[in-house]
Structure 1
């Protein structure tokens, strides 16, 4: 068994990172749809969804740092 971070990552970290990636993916798809359809309000809504995805992803990085610090203390 390799000892990479993903195998030893906490379930919370995995959930937060996947949630962030899902928000980013949905936001990008909605942005493309909105721009092709010329729907202005959907462009702004999709930008907000992308922002939520970025914030969620950054929260996942914070959780990763916290877990790494806990692992080093042991």
Structure 2
């Protein structure tokens, strides 16, 4: 089921997943860079980037859940 879902999932869902992963990764890199260099502003600025990535991740879960729910009704 999981492999089939990814193969048949919509472009919108794939875009949500990759955008979420990308934003979370960028946020983590900014956070690590800010904390290792002592740049407090960079470390704080990374938090909204991680937050947006997490929101996109949750949105992707909702989209996936709705599609699975619709497939069960058929």
TM-score by length of 1: 0.89
Structure number with higher relative contact order (C-alpha < 8 Å, ≥ 6 residues apart): 1
Q: 1:29: which partner in 2?
A: 29
Consecutive unaligned residues in structure 1, runs of 5 or more: none
Indicate yes or no: 2:36 matched with 1:72. no
Consecutive unaligned residues in structure 2, runs of 5 or more: none
Runs of 4+ aligned structure 1 residues displaced above 2 Å come to: none
Q: Which has the higher helix share?
A: 2
Give RMSD over aligned pairs.
1.1
Q: How big is each residue's C-alpha offset from its partner over 1:21-50, in whole Å with a ceiling of 9 and x where there is no partner?
A: 000000011011101111111111101111
Cα distance in structure 2, aligned partners of 1:64 and 1:12: 11
Aligned residues: 72
Q: 1:38: which partner in 2?
A: 38
Q: 1:62: which partner in 2?
A: 62
